[in-house]
Structure formats: C-alpha cells, structure tokens
A and B are shown apart, each in its own frame.
Chain A
Amino acid sequence: MRISLLLVLLALPQDTTTADRDPVAALIDRHIEARWSELGIKPAAPAGDAIFVRRLALDVLGRLPRPDEVKSFEADKDAAKRAKLADAWLASDEAAEYFVDRWIRLLFNYHFEQADPFKVDFPGFAGWLKKAYKDDLPYDQFAAALVGSRGEKDEKPETNFLMKFLDPKEPPTELAVKTARVFLGVQIQCAQCHDHPFDKYTQEDFWGLTAFFAGIRQKTRQTFDGIKTKIMQEAPIVRMPVGDDKHVDMAPRFLDGSTPDKDEPAGKALARFLVGAKNDQFGRAAVNRFWAHFMGRGFVDPVDKFTDKAKPSHPALLSELAQEFAKGGYRTRRIARGIVLSRAYGLSSARVKDAPDDAFAFKPLKPQDPPQFLNNLVYLLALDAFFREFYNQFYENVKALPGYGNERVFRMYLFQFVSGILAPSGRAPEETPYAGSTRLALKMMNGTDLQNTVKVGWGRLAEVMKAEATPEGRVSLMFRTVLGRGPAADELARYGAYLKKKRASASAYEDIYWALLNSAEFFFNH
C-alpha cells in the first residue's frame, strides 16, 4: 500500500498535489480535460523538467535557458519549483525586454524608415513599454494609452505609436487597422475600398474607426527647456473615398455604431468603446493572444481572425478566461502564470494519434519568433559582436538624427537581419515565422554572415572549448547550450566516432555545432 502510494505521488506532476494550486491554471485544466474526455482522447505524458525550463525561458525571457539554469532546476526538490521559477522569470527585466521586442514587432513590424527618427522616439517608446510590463499595467489602460493619449510627447511616450503612422498626406488608416487587429483580433483592411466581402464590416465601419485618429498633429515649439513636441488632435473628420474621385466626410464611429459623447475627445471615446466592445471581444482577443503565445496556437487561430464564422476550440474556456481577466483588473501576469502552470503547458509535444491540434492533448510545436531567434543567435554566435562593424557604418548615417539611442538602433538593425532570415518581409507580425522557406535553410546552413561565426575561436563555441577539455565534455556542453539537454548515449557515441575520425580537429567541432544549430530541435519551440 505504502509503496503504491509513493509511486502515485511520484508519477503526478508536482504542482497539482499542492494546496495552493494556481486558480487560473485550475480553470484551464478543468476545461481542457473536459474536452479530452468529450473527444475520448488521452493526453501526452508530461514533458519533464528540462523541456519545461526551455519552454519557459523561450516564452517568458525570449531566449534559451543556460545550462546551469536547467541543471539547478532539475536538481531542485521543491514541489512548487515551477511556480517559483515562473514568478521569478515573469517579473524579470529580461521578460520586460522581450515584451518590448514583441510589441515593437506587433505594432511596427520592426519597420524602420529614414524619416522615423524625426517622428518616433523609439527609445522613449521602448521605455514606456518596459515600464508597462514591469508594473503589470492593466491591459485596458495599456490599450487606452496607446490609442487615446494626447499631449506632450516626452511626458507621454506612448503617443509614439500614433506618430509612427502619421502622414500628413494620407489618412490614418493604418492606425485603425492595427487597433482592430491587435486589440479586437479582427482584420478590417479589406473594407477600406468597399464593404468587406466576407465579414460584416462595411466601408463606413472602416472609415468610422479611422476617423478616431483623424486630425492628429505634431506641434513643435521652442521653450526654456528646449524643443518640445505636443501631440494634439483637431477635428476628427476623415474623407472616405467613394468610387475613384468622390469623397464623403466621416466622423468617428466605432464598429458597433457607437459615437463619442458631445465634447468627448475622440481618443478617450475610442478607448472606452474598445474595452467595452460587444461580447467582451477586447478581453477575449487578449486572452486568446496570450494563450497563442504560450501554447503555439489560439483558441481562435490565427489570433487576428475573430470573424463571426470563427469557432473557438474551447468557447467556454475562452469566455471564462476573459471574465477572469476582467475580474482581475486586466492584469496580464496572472493569466500568463496560470497558463504556464496549467497541465496543457507541461505536456510533451510528441503528437498524440488521432488528437486534433486544437485539443491541446500534446503541446503544439512552434518556430521561434524573431526576438527569440535573435537572442539565441546572439548568445550562440555572438552575432552582435560580429555585426558591430557593419553597424557602425550604418550608424554613421543615422547618428546625426535627433534623440537616437545607440543600442536601440543597433537592435533594430539586427532585427532586420534576423527577420530577413526567419520570414520574408511584408508579412504581418501575426503571421508567425514558418518553417519551410528555402531561403531560411540556405541562410542558416550556408549564409556567409552566420558561417563566419561558427568557429571554435568565436562566441559561445569558444567558451565551450575552453570550459571542457574532453570530446565527451565538449559535446555534452554543446548539447546543453544549443538544445537545453544533455546528449543521449547514442548521440554521444555518434559524435564521439565523428571526432575520432576527424582527429578531433577544430572543424569537426564546428561541424557538430553547425549540426545542432541547424537541427529541427533547435529551431522549434517544443
């Protein structure tokens, strides 16, 4: 009896036995498990500590875990270690930086034009995003600030979102499209020229939403404290094109027909309508987005296709999670914590036969996103050091531009390189980088820039060669560095044999590093 009880306790995932189970995780588990029963499927086995740490590091910190982080976590006997690690990492600076990267990509697609430094204070905006993350700024206030803030640019860095898309010659349609896409999970751009052909939005809906952003101006003036810029909004009227040469004036009108109260500023009204959108769409789109980030796909997939015809995989869970979100004051961290401590998040990614992807009976695979990829290439190949020289030439051109922080520009530059590998330009950030691009494979495996960094004397590989003296030690550390796990016996044997054949030459070690770097196991967040 005692032995079987012991075995049962050992077999259960650690945290479910503790009394203080995360309530959001419990909510998630209830619904997910219910659907498994409904479908008559058995879920995959739990994934184990090393994989959990790798996932958490990628999803929260935006990077691979370090070998010693994996080691110490595996050795930790605390039953609540997952919750502790999640709390520590969710609150960290690194998590905040990753959040900044993701939102800059989401809002700006890393798109950086020559004219931008005159309009957009990227460092200031990044600083605002970072603080919002660290303070766990309620998401409704976050959205309200982005769409509704007006005033002094240096006091309200969130207004840089507006500035990025402002063009005196063009109506602010991009802002409407972005707002709908990011905060409501809907794509309205097809309704720009005519009524949306397959969704309910009319052309007037499109231009009514655009009107909330019309008339926004940047006014610069000289003060005792130097040059100050004010973002202000004049009459929010936009000219809606009808046919090729006619126009009709549109005033702000939200997608459900709501219009601002008398004298209510357009920005404030939009924030109000957004958060109060019918069917709790704001909350649902948000939790769906968070779920998709951690789980690889949303309840509605892709996250910006919340059309009327879209059928969520777990409609009740989606609604209840959204309610939890609102009840908890729209604080994101609670939801994130619940997701990473849920049973579904901890399952193996080995496919379960006959289980549909959206049942989450196994953890869906996803490619790394550009910030993760960049952070990992920087770590593994010292890519930043490598590019510094090229960057300095590039920076010669932008150095003279106003208010530009060195490191932020450098990071944008690196992102362009990395994004160029992962996914073709012109793709919206919602479209996650995909596997299957010949160009991606070509650049990873033979790209001049990357290959020049796969050298025993360079970057992380150089550190591995120094830290370990034996072939086994070096191969082991390479595995733990690139893949987050130690090699299996057969892998050790295979690489041992290779090194022996090649007389443990430098190029042989580089070949092994290269193979791990190009492996599917590295590429995917599994």
Chain B
Amino acid sequence: MLNPARIGHRYPTYRYEVSREKIREYALATGVEDPRIAADTGDLVAPPTFAACFTVMRAGAALLDDPELGATPRLLHSAQEYDFFRPVRSGDVLDCTPWIVDVSSRARIERLVLQVDCVDADSGEPVVTGRTTLVFLPPPDGEGGA
C-alpha cells in the first residue's frame, strides 16, 4: 500500500546538465527531422519530451528508494504532462526537485502523481515542470499483499 502521508513530500534536488549530443541522440530516436539536429555545431533546442531524460527515471528511482512510501516496481506509466517556461537548450544546467502531488487508490489499483520542478541552476528561474502519473498494480494472487 502506498502511504498517503507522503503526499507533499519533496525528495532531494539533483542536477542535470543538458548536452548537445544527448539531445541529438534523443531526437534521432524519436524521429525528429530538423536540419539543426544533423548539423555538427551550434546549440540545440531539446525536443519537448527530452525532459523525460531528467525527470521520469531519476525521480521514479527516488520513489522506489523511499522506504516510507511503499512503492513496488510493478508499475505502469499512465499519464505525462510537461509545461515549459522556456525551451530547454544544450548547455543548460538544471536543478530538479521531485515531489509527490497525490496518492490515491481504487479497486486495488494505486495511483501516484509525481511532479518534478526543474529550474535554471544559474538564475533559479523555472524552466520546465513535469508531472508523471504512475499506476501500481496489485501483487499477483497468492503473494499476499496488505
């Protein structure tokens, strides 16, 4: 069972440096056709979903490592939102803080909404906010479970 007392809990801030080659790798993996991606020089603007590289997994790991939350690895990604205050560019250094927005359950399926606030490490100005909805599946029959 997920612990609803963890709603509002903030995990430690981590830092992510946006590199040009990582943007290029991600863009090519998702079918981006943009001449700037093919060029060898010049700053790149990250595709919107590139934000997954510094939000989904890193913040998800914080959840699974939290002994007070009670999250299990049997989970599915059920929704994702990104709001951009400005585009993400190569050379950006971002400070990212995950926190739990909501925990709820219905019919043995538990749902958690995790937000990651990403700010420019130099200016402190917001850059992008990610909101991930995860669904935790019940254990298979016979494995108990609370």
Indicate, yes or no, whether A interacts with B.
Answer: no
Taking Cβ atoms with an 8 Å cutoff, the residues of A that contact B are none
Taking Cβ atoms with an 8 Å cutoff, the residues of B that contact A are none
